[in-house]
């Protein structure tokens, strides 16, 4: 008698896969998984989550022809995923095929070949179906190639609203400045 095992994957991971394979918004992939990593882990930088984030960032760089940035991220991604093959497998990925895919992308980046959309080797049919259903719900086509003419997709980092980040940095700088001034007057 065969026992059916249902594995529950975090919704953020499913959203990562949906954007990775649906609209190819690697910037959004990075944002989603980084937020998950910050909220649900001990923020250990040497983890499968960071390896997947770095893979998305690498593809974002590659698509923009930032070959140096892509190469750096791919190297780090491959290192982390190869160190956590069991964790990657528990995320429904064929780790051997994934590491091979990353190596192929690395080779393409090194010779400055143009970006090509890729598919992660998902082994869990239930996960794959959940991702396809979510893609459909969002109006994406699973496996669609990147729209290389979509500036909002290609240059997303330039077009986003960063006013909250800038405000927080200014506040931190002001706080540090006040602390330094206070310590200067105490000495």
Measure the CA–CA gap between 52 and 113, rounded to whole angstroms. Answer: 22
Residue 173's pLDDT is 74
Residue 160's pLDDT is 59
Q: Token pair for residue 16?
A: 């990562």
- Name, in order, each residue with C-beta under 8 angstroms of 98's C-beta and a sequence gap of 6 or more: 81, 88, 120, 121
Please state the φ and ψ torsions of residue 44, each to the nearest 5 degrees: -65, 125
Using a pLDDT cut of 70, give the percent of the chain over it.
86
Q: What is the pLDDT of residues 114-142, one digit of tens each?
A: 999 999 999 999 999 999 999 999 999 99
Residue 80's pLDDT is 97
More confident residue, 162 or 72: 72
Is residue 162 predicted with pLDDT exceeding 60?
Answer: no
Q: Do 127 and 94 contact (CB within 8 A), yes or no? A: no
pTM over 0.85: no
Tell me which residue of 117, 106, 114, 110 sits closest to 81, measured CA to CA: 106
Report the DSSP beta bridge partners of residue 122: 93
Q: What is the pLDDT of residues 67-103, one digit of tens each?
A: 999 999 999 999 999 999 999 999 999 999 999 999 9
Is residue 158 predicted with pLDDT exceeding 90?
Answer: no
Is residue 165 predicted with pLDDT exceeding 70?
Answer: no
Measure the CA–CA gap between 69 and 59, rounded to whole angstroms. Answer: 10
Q: Do 95 and 102 contact (CB within 8 A), yes or no? A: no
Reported as a pLDDT band with limits 50, 70 and 90, residue 151 is confident
For the chain, the distance separating the N- and C-terminal CA atoms, rounded to the nearest angstrom, is 78
Measure the CA–CA gap between 20 and 143, rounded to whole angstroms. Answer: 9
């Amino acid at each position: 008698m065969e026992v059916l095992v249902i594995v529950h994957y975090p919704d953020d991971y499913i959203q990562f896969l949906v954007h990775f394979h649906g609209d190819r918004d690697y910037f959004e992939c990075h944002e989603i998984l980084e937020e998950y990593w910050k909220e649900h882990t001990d923020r250990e930088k040497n983890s499968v989550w960071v390896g997947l984030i770095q893979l998305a960032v690498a593809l974002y760089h590659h698509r923009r022809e930032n070959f140096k940035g892509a190469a750096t991220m791919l190297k780090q991604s491959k290192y982390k995923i190869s160190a956590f093959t069991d964790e990657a497998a528990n995320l429904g990925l064929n780790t051997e095929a994934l590491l091979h895919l990353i190596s192929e992308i690395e080779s393409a980046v090194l010779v400055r070949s143009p970006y090509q959309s890729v598919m992660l080797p998902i082994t869990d049919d239930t996960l794959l179906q959940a991702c396809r259903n979510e893609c459909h719900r969002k109006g994406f086509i699973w496996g669609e190639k990147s729209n290389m003419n979509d500036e909002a997709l290609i240059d997303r980092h330039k077009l986003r609203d960063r006013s909250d980040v800038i405000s927080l940095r200014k506040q931190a700088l002001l706080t540090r400045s006040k602390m330094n001034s206070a310590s200067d007057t105490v000495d």
